[in-house]
Structure 1
């Protein structure tokens, strides 16, 4: 049984599902409908920090999260409401985490709702790993294909960094009988086996060897990505791929092999600590569909993996602006300390800050991975207040502020741009709503054109100030 729903869905409860239409909405039969009702009736609420996340892998594109400790971030909420003289209404709400969850035999796909081109393009910009090759094999499940792109990116990025100091190795003790002395002579073996002396001596020595479980898991993960996406997917790891192939045992890694690799003592060595994350990604790649529990399994634990898509979009916008605005220094998640001498001291973190390299003028953007059809309700009140709070911090340095979105409609600067903040004429600080026009069936060329148009609008605005 599967439920598929996009990120940032149904915030205003605008898409209720009537009880009579529950089976049609999720393409399930009568038996599945009863199970769905049970899940919805239990008020399934999954948020960041919840104990339900213990068996869920949350994969990040950044090292640090500047969120407040007590900040609640919705992942998924399933619930129902009674309506007088009507069917029950069932609701699915999602936040900004995409991925795959398994709960009570139900597979829940939280999709990005945009096409593969946009996801690939964001990944390309984040780390210059190009996975948008036209020869990539099509997958039966496009939703999972999206997630595999993300996992492939994270796996390759982390493996490239971790392997700088080499693959995990351990010293192993070896015994050898020969004409040359290697290491030290094994006198016990000499007395027991080498008398009368025949010219050969038994010696014992220690030799560094690659950890076989780790080699096997990494090699098979790369091979699987190669089958799915073509050899270009790991072009930057060609030398490492050849080394793994050379030392591969030839035995397919089972679940137990993967667990032994993840728990191997060599990974505790600070030199190889980076392989902890690498092996987590490799496990997802190799296990793939095996993550789904058996339908007869009655455990209540939720398993699966999730990605912070908002974080990916933010990094994409930062890189896009950085590469196209050479006169500006572009930074992300800048720490702005406020009230440092008071008991309520804290920091605020604008997503993207542009500072002109000569004049010192500042432009601040917040990137929001939310629906934007240029309707009033699409601009969240908290987001609007948040971006304006940065204006007060930078004051005279500030040239412009704005919110950036994946746009569902072409932007009209006449209604989306204001020459002053708050729309009042006592300042010359620009405010705008803008972003990249994206849609589900968009080609890569169309997306690139949309990027160029966006950069052109921002460049014109900056040059005018």
Structure 2
């Protein structure tokens, strides 16, 4: 049974599923309806740091993120529950983690909501791999391909970096019978076979060879990506692909082979340490379909793969602003310590800080990967309090602050920009709710044009500095 739902879904309980529409909503038969009713019968809530996450791989785009949310145990991933009303209502809520979960025989696809040009564009900025070619897309329109597309880029980026030093190799003892002496002579063989001497000797020597399990896993992972997205997906690794093809053993990779590759002694060599992460991504790519039935049979534990879509959006904005504002330092997740001598000490982590290289003036921004249609409730009270807390920290250096969203409607500047913090006209600090207009069906060129409009609006904030 499969359920597909976007990130940040149903926050206000605005989309309940009525009991009478369960079969139609999930396209299931009567036994499927009973399974769903059982699934929603008790409240199931999965949060960051929960015990159930032990079998779930949470992937981050940068390690700093783990530190920031180390003490934050309240980040919602998924919540399933029901309410007794005139007609029973079923609810699915999601946070800002996208991916695939397996729970009680049900496969839950949490999608990014924006799976077209916008997802590709964010990955381009994060990985510095520009694959704007519209040909690079899944051959089948399946929701899990969105997750596979992201893992593919992480895999290719990581592989491209570590392969500079070559593929993992190890020494293996070899024997050779020839007229040349290579290594040491095998005297026992000599006494048995070479008296009288016939011109050939058996020698034993050590030779460096590629780690076969690792070669096989990498080769088949690239082949699988090629079958889903086309050859363009690994166009920057053509030389490596040829080498892997030559060294491939021809054997099918199963779960045991993947585990052997991940535990191979060669990757404990500091020179090849980066392959640990590459092999983790390769495992996800290969298991994504080939061995999925093993996961679907698990009824007792929640398993799967997730990534932080909010982090992806933050990094995208950070690099977009860095490219377009060279006179400013643009930093993500800067730590702002407060009350460090008191027992209630804390640290703030604003998503984006822009600091002018000459004047030292500051613009502080928070990236919010949430659907916004320019209604009052779209801007959460907690988000508004948070950005104003960051603004207060910088005092006299601050010239503007704001919240940056992927926009579902075009901006009305009079309603979304304020000339003063708090809107009370007793200061010259600007406050904005802004972002980049995103549509599921827009082309890459249309998205880039929307980026340019956003950059122009940001330029108005910085024009005097």
Judge same fold: TM > 0.5, yes or no. yes
Instruction: Give the TM-score of the pair, scaled to structure 2.
Output: 0.95
CA distance in 2, matches of 1:424, 1:370: 27
Residue 113 of structure 1: aligned partner: 113
Residue 297 of structure 2 corresponds to residue 305 of structure 1: no
- Contact 1:47/1:74 (<8 A) preserved: yes
Inter-CA distance 132–144: structure 2 relative to 1 (3 Å threshold): farther
CA distance in 2, matches of 1:330, 1:161: 24
CA distance in 2, matches of 1:440, 1:363: 30
Secondary structure in structure 1 of the residue aligned to 2:40: helix
- Contact 2:103/2:298 (<8 A) preserved: no
Residue 461 of structure 2 corresponds to residue 457 of structure 1: no
Secondary structure in structure 2 of the residue aligned to 1:170: strand
Superposed CA deviations along residues 13-48 of structure 1, whole A, max 9, x for unmatched, are: 111111111111111111100001111113221111
Superposed CA deviations along residues 148-193 of structure 1, whole A, max 9, x for unmatched, are: 2101111011111222322111110111122221112222222233
CA distance in 1, matches of 2:345, 2:184: 64
CA distance in 2, matches of 1:261, 1:70: 34
Residue 185 of structure 2: aligned partner: 185
> Structure 1 residues 368-377 or 135-144, which shifts more?
135-144
Q: How many residues align?
A: 463
Deviation at 1:295, TM superposition (A): 9.9
Instruction: Give the TM-score of the pair, scaled to structure 1.
Output: 0.95
Residue 284 of structure 2 corresponds to residue 284 of structure 1: yes
Inter-CA distance 216–418: structure 2 relative to 1 (3 Å threshold): same
Residue 375 of structure 2 corresponds to residue 369 of structure 1: no
Residue 51 of structure 2: aligned partner: 51
- Contact 2:97/2:110 (<8 A) preserved: yes
CA distance in 2, matches of 1:322, 1:123: 16
Superposed CA deviations along residues 371-417 of structure 1, whole A, max 9, x for unmatched, are: 11111111111111111111222111111111100001101111111
Deviation at 1:2, TM superposition (A): 1.3
Superposed CA deviations along residues 108-129 of structure 1, whole A, max 9, x for unmatched, are: 1111122411100111111222
Superposed CA deviations along residues 195-247 of structure 1, whole A, max 9, x for unmatched, are: 22222222111111110010011011112222322322222222222221221
CA distance in 2, matches of 1:204, 1:396: 75
CA distance in 1, matches of 2:264, 2:42: 40
Residue 74 of structure 2 corresponds to residue 72 of structure 1: yes
Superposed CA deviations along residues 327-379 of structure 1, whole A, max 9, x for unmatched, are: 11111111222222223333211111111111111111110101111111111
Q: Note the residue ranges of structure 2 that are not aligned, 5 or more in a row.
A: none
CA distance in 2, matches of 1:297, 1:230: 31
Superposed CA deviations along residues 258-290 of structure 1, whole A, max 9, x for unmatched, are: 222122222222322221221121122222224
Secondary structure in structure 2 of the residue aligned to 1:197: coil
CA distance in 2, matches of 1:385, 1:106: 38
CA distance in 2, matches of 1:44, 1:105: 14
Residue 2 of structure 1: aligned partner: 2
Paired residues for 1:285-434 under 5 Å: 285-293=285-293, 297=297, 299-434=299-434
CA distance in 2, matches of 1:111, 1:10: 14
Residue 441 of structure 2 corresponds to residue 441 of structure 1: yes
> Structure 1 residues 186-195 or 158-167, which shifts more?
186-195
Question: Cα RMSD over matched residues?
Answer: 1.8
Q: Note the residue ranges of structure 1 that are not aligned, 5 or more in a row.
A: none
Residue 100 of structure 2: aligned partner: 100
> Structure 1 residues 97-106 or 250-259, which shifts more?
250-259
Inter-CA distance 197–291: structure 2 relative to 1 (3 Å threshold): closer
Secondary structure in structure 2 of the residue aligned to 1:237: helix
Secondary structure in structure 1 of the residue aligned to 2:293: coil
- Contact 1:115/1:439 (<8 A) preserved: no
Residue 251 of structure 1: aligned partner: 251
> Structure 1 residues 429-438 or 41-50, which shifts more?
41-50
> Structure 1 residues 269-278 or 446-455, which shifts more?
269-278
CA distance in 1, matches of 2:305, 2:87: 34
Secondary structure in structure 2 of the residue aligned to 1:20: helix
Deviation at 1:296, TM superposition (A): 8.7
CA distance in 2, matches of 1:43, 1:98: 20
Residue 147 of structure 1: aligned partner: 147
- Contact 2:190/2:202 (<8 A) preserved: yes
CA distance in 2, matches of 1:163, 1:148: 22
Residue 127 of structure 2: aligned partner: 127
- Contact 1:43/1:80 (<8 A) preserved: yes
- Contact 2:102/2:295 (<8 A) preserved: no
- Contact 1:7/1:97 (<8 A) preserved: yes
CA distance in 2, matches of 1:443, 1:89: 38
Residue 40 of structure 1: aligned partner: 40
